[in-house]
Structure 1
Amino acid sequence: MNLFQLRAFDAVAREGSFTRAAIRLHISQPAVTGHIKMLEEHYQIKLLRRTAKRVELTHEGGQLATITRAMFSLVEEAQNLLEANQQLLTGRLEVAADGPHLVMPLIASLRALYPGVVVNLRLGNAQETLAALLCEHVDVAVMTDVEPRKELRLQAMCVSQICALVPIAHQWVGKRIGIEQLDQQIMVLREPDSVTRRTFNRACEHSGVKPRVLLELDSREAVSEAVAEDLGIGIVSSAEYSHDPRLGVVTIVGDGLTNQHMIGCLERRSQSRLVEAFMELANTKQGA
């Protein structure tokens, strides 16, 4: 069995692209293609199929990817352990987050301290971020309201407040409102699986508030644009709001309108020097 061929296959499986796999391995794209072609021909098996947008795994490719991901994750652990003796002059950290606002300052601090470290960031919703961590697609993740698990090491970062998002000319700008004032208000909200939406829904149910949700959107940016066009009132986490001169953020008074943001890694990976350094940065920023 040729480990170079397996390494090339694993990189393509992770990246979904021959080009990105070549960059990841610091070799040419034809070399990656050649390694995988020889692997498939030697074992008379089809592992990958090309589509218009990306490379997909066949059923057999998916089974092999599960094995190679675990295998090369151990190799990367060994590499990270050895690179700790180089004072983190080099290395690669895979990070996932359910939003950019909390993770970007951490990445900036890490890059300032260790400019030779390469960071790959994946952004997704809460479920995708947790799944990426549990499946070992990433080393560390910044998440919201995660339930404790024995295989996870979780560290609290900060608590955010659920706020109303309104056009800048709205009468509520500069004021505080009770959650009961949102009863029967026309609202534009994230999809039901959004952590912010779930928190808001629970708070409404607890208070007997029934907003009129006439538009559901799949991103924070889309909610902001809808509110700016006066299509309804939105909600936003105080930790995730980006200033927009068209919009105003209004504090909502009520029970259950907060979220706990955390940083986490797999317990067995917590001794990795890169992971440890990233977690330490999050702890430092929390205490600042």
Structure 2
Amino acid sequence: MNLFQLRAFDAVAREGSFTRAAARLFISQPAVTGHVKALEEHYQITLLRRTARRVELTEEGTRLAAITRAMFGLAEEAQAMLEANRQLLTGRLEVAADGPHRVMPMLAQLRARYPGITVNLRLGNAQETLAALLSEHADVAVLTEVEPRKGLYLRSLGHSQLCALLPAAHPWASAPDPLALSALHQQIMVLREPSSITRRTFDQACLRAGVQPRVLLELDSREAVTEAVAAQLGIGIVSSMEVAHDPRVVTRPMAAEGLLNQHMLGCLERRRELRLIQAFLALAPAP
């Protein structure tokens, strides 16, 4: 089946004229006439009656026109959808992040600029977020302390600092100066699981400084750490961008090397030029 012939017939059926059909398709009138004639001859069928003033559909032509109108109507609908997506009027963006604090303001900016874009956000730990990006389950990802690798495009989102989380009644809670990392030696602490980026950064800083805290409770979420500290089960460690407004706890900055985490916005290099991904990358601060 020749789609050019069907397209020409459909245009004539819609317009009722070979001249207007040619204008609709941006081709010459003889080309339209030739396509329709070839269609009729190939299937040994009369689809149109040509009179001096107009073109009329035969019974078979009317039945075929109903089919081609639906068929090419769907094609036009698909084209309109794709064009809207190209202009960022609509579309769907899959976003992964290893925490909500960096990504939520970016999503708010995206919504303000492109209100027709639908976003699916998946939150997980650092390993899950990177895996979602590399497996193309996410278009873009907000990552922490990710190592550069071939095929992965990364853009800096800045850094955060690790802070000590103390019960509000703790003697150190009201001290004005940053808390020395050495002060945590042999202190009872409640920390994230060892695979957590926050925990890993803290452990590495302690190792370099020769500090050995007493980790008596390991928890799998930031919220659980806050609750444990509020219950005075120990001192916690949180990122400066994850500080919660909770009167039961107090956050203290710490003084030591290696207590910074670098945050990145990433996508696969080969997908970097897609317009929707470009729109999200543009939300990152200029390097």
Note whether the superposition's TM-score is higher than 0.5. yes
CA displacement at 1:128 relative to structure 2: 0.2
Moved over 6 A (4+): 78-81
CA displacement at 1:119 relative to structure 2: 0.3
Match of 1:180 in 2: 182
One of 189, 192, 195 as aligned partner of 1:193: 195
Residues 142 and 79 (structure 1), Cα distance of their counterparts in 2 relative to 1, 3 Å cut: farther
Report the count of equivalent residues: 207
CA contact (8 A) 2:85 2:91 kept: no
Per-residue CA distance 1:109-164 (angstroms, 9 max, x = gap): 10111111000000000000000000000000000000001111000001100100
**Structure 2 residue 227 is matched with structure 1 residue 205:** no
- TM-score, structure 1 normalization: 0.69
- Residue type at the aligned position of 1:104: M
CA contact (8 A) 2:97 2:143 kept: yes
CA displacement at 1:170 relative to structure 2: 1.5
Q: Distance in 2 between matches of 1:81 and 1:136?
A: 21
CA contact (8 A) 1:81 1:272 kept: no
One of 224, 235, 258 as aligned partner of 1:222: 224
Per-residue CA distance 1:177-201 (angstroms, 9 max, x = gap): 1100000000000000000000000
Match of 2:279 in 1: 277
Gaps of 5+ in 1: 1-77
CA contact (8 A) 2:145 2:262 kept: yes
CA contact (8 A) 1:97 1:124 kept: yes
Per-residue CA distance 1:65-90 (angstroms, 9 max, x = gap): xxxxxxxxxxxxx999854542x110
- Residue type at the aligned position of 1:259: N
Match of 1:95 in 2: 95
SS in structure 1 of the partner of residue 262 of structure 2: strand
Q: Distance in 1 between matches of 2:185 and 2:81?
A: 53
- Residue type at the aligned position of 1:218: D
Structure-to-structure mapping, 1:229-244, within 5 angstroms: 229-244=231-246
SS in structure 1 of the partner of residue 285 of structure 2: helix
CA contact (8 A) 2:86 2:275 kept: no
CA contact (8 A) 1:93 1:274 kept: yes
Compute the RMSD of aligned alpha carbons. Answer: 1.8
CA contact (8 A) 1:126 1:194 kept: yes
Q: Distance in 2 between matches of 1:268 and 1:210?
A: 44
Match of 1:168 in 2: 168
Q: Distance in 1 between matches of 2:235 and 2:166?
A: 5
Gaps of 5+ in 2: 1-78
CA contact (8 A) 1:224 1:234 kept: yes
Between the aligned residues of both structures, percent identity stands at 64
Match of 1:112 in 2: 112
